[in-house]
């Protein structure tokens, strides 16, 4: 397999692992105009568009006119002529930690209201100066009042073995909200986002205490694969092959993978990290759209007993109790539905696969660098076509500096390894 590339259409979108260096096949002339990264030729031999001109043109396009131009970057990304860009959802969630909180399998309206109110502070802070602090103060007051009023209902949702942790988190949240009020009253706007994330962390701890075991049975046909029955945290350290801006030599990223919604995909990644599979591996693609790695030097994916371990396509849809397996949402006729783990955050982590085979993933993974013109939050062409299983929660900006040939010094599990279930023989 060569490095991966992307071909996006209304009916077809691929982060691929094909031998074709572009991972693309010529599309019918009456449906697509697609520029190749190879010498700038087009499949239809129509007018060539330079990358720089493309970026300028896309910036000027209104969302409703996105389908009028079909242009491609050097990554091989194509937009179909007849594609229509839908309206974005109101206030889509883009923060990785918030996405992970909302993805927890719980049902407690009071804590969700508190969470939503505190997360909305991020939007309030976009108003310049101190004008936003009045609204921020009202949100904190609402959250504190809701906690006092609904504490009994919140506690009633705790799992029996997590009551102590939940109670401790409630107390930390209450104290944190009081400190937050004082900070806002002092009009210390710079400290507001720091305190906001702190109290939201306590909200997340409360919500985690509500999870009562693993929420569903993974189909028995995947029992021969490692599965993550919960969540795990990992640390990935990158060493640049040469100095970057400000003489940077590399950095560290913190990753959370979600087995509640993608147990097989997340289990595969955690198992490989546990084995040290990614240690010393190079970054194999870094083009401003995705950062990719995971292809071993001597094969297409991770091999056991001479056979490549294949991971089925897996996506949990909002409102479902179990993931969809082996079919993309498009193939399943559900392309308008929303995954629980969407490609909303910078640094979304997903499985790479062959272009036309949904169940060909193995060890290759990619991080998405948000390109809003092509993958607008809440209305992008990757959701439901690729299996998201985690997010970078700290250090995602490192992705912007990565280049092909940079080294993963290590990728290690720091928390949640006990949730990894070994394959059944």
Q: Rg for the chain (alpha carbons), in Å?
A: 22
Secondary structure class of 374 (helix, strand, coil):
coil
State what percent of residues in the chain have pLDDT above 70.
76
Instruction: Identify the band that residue 237 occupies on the pLDDT scale cut at 50, 70 and 90.
Output: very high
Over residues 105-134, the mean pLDDT reads 93
**Closest Cα to residue 422, out of 261, 223, 221?**
223
Please report how the helices 192-208 and 109-119 are oriented relative to each other, as an axis angle in degrees rounded to 10.
Answer: 160
How many other CB atoms sit within 10 Å of the CB of residue 172?
17
Please give the residue that has the higher pLDDT: either 10 or 348: 348
Q: How far apart are CA 25 and CA 224, in angstroms?
A: 34
Q: 85 with 64: CB under 8 angstroms?
A: yes
> Per mean pLDDT, which range of 7-11, 106-110, 382-386 is the poorest?
7-11
Q: How far apart are CA 206 and CA 216, in angstroms?
A: 21
Give the pLDDT of residue 380. Answer: 73
Both structure tokens of 389: 């299983």
Give the pLDDT of residue 10. Answer: 34
Average pLDDT, the chain: 82
Interval 255-294: pLDDT, tens: 999 999 999 999 999 999 999 999 999 999 999 999 999 9
Q: How far apart are CA 141 and CA 231, in angstroms?
A: 32
**Closest Cα to residue 272, out of 292, 252, 240, 294?**
294
Secondary structure class of 42 (helix, strand, coil):
strand
The label of the residue with tokens 């697509």 reads 32
What are the start-end ranges of the E strands in 195-329? 227-228, 231-239, 250-258, 285-286, 290-293, 303-304, 307-308, 314-315, 324-325
Give the predicted TM-score (pTM) of the model.
0.80
Give the pLDDT of residue 92. Answer: 81
Secondary structure class of 221 (helix, strand, coil):
helix
Interval 46-73: pLDDT, tens: 333 333 444 444 333 333 332 322 222 2
Give the pLDDT of residue 329. Answer: 95
Interval 20-34: pLDDT, tens: 332 323 333 333 333
Give the pLDDT of residue 381. Answer: 82
* Cα end-to-end distance, the chain, whole Å: 29
Give the pLDDT of residue 44. Answer: 34
DSSP state of 361: B
Q: What Cα–Cα distance (Å) separates residue 191 from each residue in 95, 103, 119, 185, 299?
A: 18, 27, 15, 12, 49
Element (H, E) at 364: none
């Amino acid at each position: 397999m060569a490095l991966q590339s992307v071909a996006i259409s209304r009916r077809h979108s691929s982060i691929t692992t094909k031998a074709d260096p572009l991972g693309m096949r010529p599309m019918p002339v009456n449906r697509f105009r697609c520029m190749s990264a190879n010498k700038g030729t087009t499949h239809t031999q129509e007018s060539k568009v330079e990358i720089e001109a493309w970026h300028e043109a896309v910036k000027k396009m209104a969302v409703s006119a996105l389908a009028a131009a079909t242009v491609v970057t050097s990554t091989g990304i194509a937009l179909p002529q007849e594609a229509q860009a839908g309206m974005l959802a109101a206030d889509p969630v883009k923060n990785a930690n918030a996405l992970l909180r909302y993805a927890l399998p719980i049902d407690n309206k009071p804590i969700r209201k508190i969470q939503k109110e505190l997360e909305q502070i991020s939007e309030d802070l976009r108003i310049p100066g101190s004008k936003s602090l009045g609204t921020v103060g009202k949100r904190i007051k609402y959250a504190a009042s809701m906690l006092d009023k609904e504490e009994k209902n919140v506690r009633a949702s705790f799992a029996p073995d997590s009551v102590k942790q939940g109670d401790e988190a409630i107390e930390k949240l209450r104290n944190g909200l009081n400190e937050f009020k004082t900070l806002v009253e002092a009009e210390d706007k710079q400290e507001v986002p720091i305190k906001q994330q702190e109290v939201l962390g306590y909200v997340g701890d409360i919500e985690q205490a509500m999870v009562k075991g693993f929420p569903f049975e993974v189909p028995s046909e995947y029992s021969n694969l490692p599965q993550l029955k919960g969540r795990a945290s990992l640390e990935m350290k990158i060493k640049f092959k040469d100095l970057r801006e400000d003489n940077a030599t590399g950095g560290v990223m913190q990753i959370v993978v979600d087995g509640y919604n993608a147990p097989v995909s997340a289990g595969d990644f955690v198992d490989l990290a546990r084995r040290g599979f990614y240690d010393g591996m190079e970054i194999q693609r870094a083009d401003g759209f995705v950062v990719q790695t995971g292809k071993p030097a001597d094969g297409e994916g991770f091999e056991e007993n001479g056979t490549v371990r294949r991971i089925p396509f897996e996506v949990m849809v909002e409102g479902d109790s179990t993931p969809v397996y082996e079919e993309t949402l498009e193939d399943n006729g559900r392309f308008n539905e929303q995954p629980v783990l969407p490609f909303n955050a910078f640094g979304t982590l997903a499985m790479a696969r062959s272009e036309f085979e949904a169940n060909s993933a193995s060890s290759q993974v990619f991080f998405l660098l948000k390109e809003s013109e092509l993958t607008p939050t809440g209305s992008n062409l990757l959701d439901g076509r690729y299996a998201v299983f985690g997010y970078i929660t700290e250090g995602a900006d490192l992705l912007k500096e990565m280049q092909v040939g940079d080294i993963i010094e290590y990728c290690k599990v720091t928390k949640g390894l006990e949730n990894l279930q070994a394959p059944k023989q």
